[in-house]
Amino acid sequence: MRLKDKVALVTGAGQGIGKEVALLFAREGAKVAVADYNEETASATSSEITGSGGQAMSVKVNVAEAASVQAAVQAVKEWGGGKIDVLVNNAGITKDSQLRKMTEDQWDAVIAVNLKGVWLCGQAVANVMLENGSGSIINASSIVGIYGNFGQSNYSATKGGVIAMTKTWARELGPKGIRVNAIAPGFTMTPMMETVPEKVLDDVKAKTPLRRLGQPIDIANAYLFLASDEASFITGHTLLVDGGIAW
């Protein structure tokens, strides 16, 4: 029960890694606010938690819109008794294309969700955490934010930007009792990966010392550690959870 009595807000929690994080946090004693753009998947995750005896609420949010974020955070704050202890900034999208063919719409959409969305949620929740003098913000980056990846100029840019924001926020918020870290997953089997050709996945496995792709629980366990008091002296760090992949 490493998160007993803590209130956690997880964005993009309707499926994939976000859902796994929400379920794990609930098992570890947290009250979990399941936030997602898709109301149905958010509600399904929340129901799964409450059906297993946990505490959860679902909330629709468009992380790229300030008004939507503010309304969602206010609802979670009220539900959580005036506090939010943990924010997992997990919501993200991909719209892949090579540099020469990427459209402005593809670029703008990914920047809006993956970078602006992280900033908007971080800002809104940080203001709640400042009222209580403590908290843990964990942002979703990616190994492609460090190494880059073919056909992902937009996605790589956002994930590199998330690392930079994480370091900046850690400096700004640390004196106020708030820790800020990031997780950089490797290739993980989520719905986002379903369109990747099998040949590409086999190549990734061959380059990974552990010879497999990540599973959502692998990433969720890392989020749990950084959210817990066990990581109370860790801030400004980006934790790679990638099986040791060699680029």
Q: Taking 70 as the threshold, does the pLDDT of residue 163 lie above it? A: yes
Verdict on whether the full-model pTM lies above 0.85: yes
* 147 given a catalytic annotation: no
The region of weakest confidence among 11-15, 35-39, 144-148, 192-196 is 192-196
173-200 in b/e burial notation, b at 16+ Cβ within 10 A?
A: beeeebbbbbbbbbbbbbeebeeeeeee
- Active-site residue identified among 37, 147, 155, 223: 155
What would the pLDDT profile of 90-106 be if each residue is shown by its tens digit? 999 999 999 999 999 99
Do 173 and 229 form a contact (C-beta atoms < 8 A)? no
Q: Tell me how crowded residue 10 is: count the other CB atoms within 10 A of its CB.
A: 35
Which two structure tokens, joined as six digits, stand for 179? 């820790």
Domain coordinates of the chain in residue numbers? 7-241
Q: Taking 70 as the threshold, does the pLDDT of residue 172 lie above it? A: yes
Query: How many Cα atoms within 13 Å fall on the side-chain side of residue 54?
Result: 28
| C-alpha distance across the termini of the chain, in Å | 37
Query: Is CATH 3.40.50.720 the right assignment for the domain spanning 7-241?
Result: yes
Q: Taking 70 as the threshold, does the pLDDT of residue 247 lie above it? A: no
pLDDT at 98: 97
